[in-house]
Structure 1
Amino acid sequence: MAAPGSKSVLFVCLGNICRSPIAEAVFRKMAADSGVVDQWRIDSAATSTYEIGNPPDHRGQACMKRHNVPMRHVARQVTKDDFMSFSHILCMDDSNLSDLNRKAKQVKNSTAKIELLGSYDPEKELIIKDPYYGGDEDFEKVYEQCLRCCKAFLEANP
């Protein structure tokens, strides 16, 4: 449970090994660099069970290393508690969004605001595409999108 007055965000994608751990790492570093990381509870999760227990994709880890962004995460699935304990659940695409909205309806006290992370993108790229079947340049694009969106999200939630 997030402490009263503290802020919380859960980043979500399909498997929790590519996009959401990148968004989590980017946001955590941004919050740390801004001196507000102690005010936030930050995590990421999957809508699916495919990758539970696995580390982030090695290409995503390499991308984060290139940008000096620390990344430590083990994939997990979204739980019912997440809908009550996180104030914001930010996901990557329409499929994640419909899965999350469906799951939220099954939680009586769901208080989380569920949105596309891309809805914060100043360049208006709503969807953060899964780079899993792509190459390094696709992970780089995810990183760039997460950077823009996380910055705007952090500014919108001072």
Structure 2
Amino acid sequence: MRPYLNNTTTRLPSSATPPYLPFCHHSHFLSSKTSSFIPLFHSTKYPSLRNPKSPSYHLQNPTNSPAFKPLVKASMASSAPSATETKPFSVLFVCLGNICRSPAAEGVFRDIVKKKGLDSKFNIDSAGTINYHEGNLSDPRMRAASKRRGIEITSISRPIRPSDFSDFDLILAMDKQNREDILEAFSRWKSSNKLPADAHKKVRLMCSYCKKHNETEVPDPYYGGPQGFEKVLDLLEDACDSLLDNILAENTNIHSS
């Protein structure tokens, strides 16, 4: 049986919100004095939602708001590089095939830099003047000799390329022939690749940094016995220690950055 309905109209309390009106995610779009919903747009589909007494709301581009500009400025400032940030100092070690001496130099120098807590301040790589071994790991004999000293060599052989003369701050040649080949490549590439005119000044001999040894070149151990690899590592450890001291002395910003 249907419940009895009288003819008396039941009023909702003034504070109640009509259940048939849509809610917005933000409560401030509901009037605090009335239960009427104030839309952000003029409804044509639902004319009953119009409120002629409410102020009109015009859609506008939020970027034109005065409050928007400080937000943009703050966002740009947070994404801009700090004035104190410096580009990592880049060092490239080069030998003939990039499987013995230069990957060992890369590994030794990387190890010294890491122990000083400066690995984030340096970009370290190695290359060869020929591409015979491109894509190969370094000589297993050199990797074994380095590992005995606690140094891991993980580099993959690659030939020197034109961009190296722009990307690196120092290019260290293992012997005089390597240096000549590097400089010849620079002369051949500098015009067509728009390289810095003074990039040849970046090329130096590795042994010019030695303090404990009198050798002027790092000998190629490829055709020798195990002792040759040990000798190379002795020279490289000497030169790399001095090399780092020299770089830090000439670039004080590396410590302060």
**Which category of TM-score, normalised to the shorter sequence, fits these structures?**
over 0.9
SS of equivalent to 2:219: coil
Please show how residues 1-158 of structure 1 align to structure 2 within 5 Å: 4-105=86-187, 106-107=189-190, 108-110=194-196, 111=199, 113-122=202-211, 123-158=213-248
Distance 2:87 2:133 in 1: 33
Q: Give the deviation of 1:73 after TM superposition.
A: 0.9
* Overall identity of the aligned pairs, in %: 39
Q: Give the deviation of 1:5 after TM superposition.
A: 3.7
Distance 2:132 2:176 in 1: 19
TM-score (norm 1): 0.95
SS of equivalent to 2:157: coil
Supply the AA of the counterpart residue of 1:11: F
Distance 1:142 1:27 in 2: 13
Q: CA RMSD in A?
A: 1.3
Q: Give the deviation of 1:4 after TM superposition.
A: 4.7
Distance 1:152 1:130 in 2: 21
Select the structure with the greater relative contact order (CA < 8 A; seq sep ≥ 6): 1
User: Aligned residues, how many?
Assistant: 156
Match of 2:55 in 1: none
Following TM superposition, the consecutive aligned residue runs of length 4 or more in structure 1 with deviations greater than 3 angstroms are none
Distance 2:152 2:223 in 1: 23
Distance 2:226 2:134 in 1: 23
Distance 1:5 1:54 in 2: 29
- Range with greater deviation from structure 2 (28-37 or 3-12): 3-12
Distance 2:215 2:120 in 1: 29
* Larger strand fraction of residues: 1
Distance 1:117 1:41 in 2: 17
SS of equivalent to 1:76: coil
Q: Give the deviation of 1:126 after TM superposition.
A: 1.2
| Structure 2 residues without counterparts, runs of 5 or longer | 1-84, 249-257
Distance 2:119 2:227 in 1: 29
Q: Give the deviation of 1:109 after TM superposition.
A: 1.9
- Range with greater deviation from structure 2 (17-26 or 98-107): 98-107
Q: Give the deviation of 1:82 after TM superposition.
A: 0.4
Supply the AA of the counterpart residue of 2:146: M
| Structure 1 residues without counterparts, runs of 5 or longer | none
Q: String of CA shifts for 1:15-64, please: whole Å, max 9, x gaps.
A: 00000000000000000001111100000000001111111001001001
Which structure has the larger Rg over C-alpha atoms?
2
SS of equivalent to 1:157: helix
Supply the AA of the counterpart residue of 1:146: L
